[in-house]
């Protein structure tokens, strides 16, 4: 399935609300580099809040460094930003027993599940029209796994899931260009330290 085509079809079908209001979107933001490209794609179509919820990132100093890089993006894009709690114990519990799995396997699915569940919960509680994630920019991030989790949470919480596979249209390359443009730090590992 081409999830990026699905996204484009969804965007074509969007309608503005009263007074030309764009639909609201809670966007799980894995990092500033991936968010740069996704904001460039979606800012014109949605009223966006970025949600940095990534208790998978180790160590805490790296988590804080990645968090601080969002200031550069927020100076360039008219969006809101919120950071969730750094619930490292919750993450450890979510992936317990899976620490030795290869990257891209079941530990990552559990990690996506935790981060997207928190995003779906928040989207539901705060009345967002849509939720999504920037994770599909990553070349090693499987779109079918991420979109499967998102679709399932959409059914559970009753909030629309915005399908994507942002790597499909050169999104990863474009994110590198945008990082150069805005002077954004690009990390060289995903987040946890189990298989690096
Ligand atoms: S490699 Fe990345 S996606 Fe996979 S469990 Fe670690 S932090 Fe999560």
Going from the N-terminus, what domains does the chain have, and what CATH number goes with each? 22-182 (3.40.50.620)
Q: 192, 193, 195: which to mutate for ligand 1, most atoms within 8 A of CB?
A: 192
Q: How far is CA 53 from CA 70, 132, 141, 160, in A?
A: 13, 13, 17, 19
Q: 105, 108, 196: which to mutate for ligand 1, most atoms within 8 A of CB?
A: 108
pLDDT digits (tens, 9 = 90+) for 164-192: 999 999 999 999 999 999 999 999 999 99
Atom of ligand 1 nearest to the CA of 190: 2
Q: What gap in Å lies between CA 149 and CA 112, rounded to an integer?
A: 8
pLDDT digits (tens, 9 = 90+) for 117-159: 999 999 999 999 999 999 999 999 999 999 999 999 999 999 9
pLDDT digits (tens, 9 = 90+) for 78-129: 999 999 999 999 999 999 999 999 999 999 999 999 999 999 999 999 999 9
Q: In what order do the strands lie in the sheet with 130-133?
A: 80-83, 47-52, 24-28, 130-133, 160-161
Question: What pLDDT is stored for residue 18 in this prediction?
Answer: 77
Query: Does the beta carbon of 113 lie inside 6 Å of ligand 1?
Result: no
Q: What gap in Å lies between CA 39 and CA 37, rounded to an integer?
A: 5
Q: How many A from CA of 94 to the centre of ligand 1? A: 11
């Amino acid at each position: 399935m081409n999830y990026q085509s699905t996204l484009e079809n969804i965007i074509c079908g969007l309608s503005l609300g009263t007074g030309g209001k764009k639909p609201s979107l809670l966007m799980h933001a894995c990092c500033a580099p991936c968010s740069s490209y996704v904001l460039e794609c979606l800012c014109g179509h949605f009223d966006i809040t970025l949600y940095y919820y990534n208790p998978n990132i180790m160590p805490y100093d790296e988590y804080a460094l990645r968090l601080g890089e969002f200031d550069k993006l927020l100076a360039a894009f008219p969006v809101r930003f919120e950071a969730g709690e750094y619930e490292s114990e919750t993450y450890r519990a979510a992936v317990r027993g899976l620490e030795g799995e290869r990257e891209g396997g079941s530990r990552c699915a559990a990690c996506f599940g935790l981060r997207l569940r928190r995003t779906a919960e928040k989207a539901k509680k705060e009345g967002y029209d849509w939720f999504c994630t920037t994770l599909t920019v990553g070349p090693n991030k499987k779109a079918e796994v991420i979109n499967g989790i998102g679709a399932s949470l959409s059914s559970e919480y009753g909030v629309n899931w915005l399908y994507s596979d942002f790597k499909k249209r050169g999104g990863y390359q474009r994110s590198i260009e945008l990082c150069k443009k805005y002077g954004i730090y690009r990390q060289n590992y995903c987040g946890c330290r189990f298989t690096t």
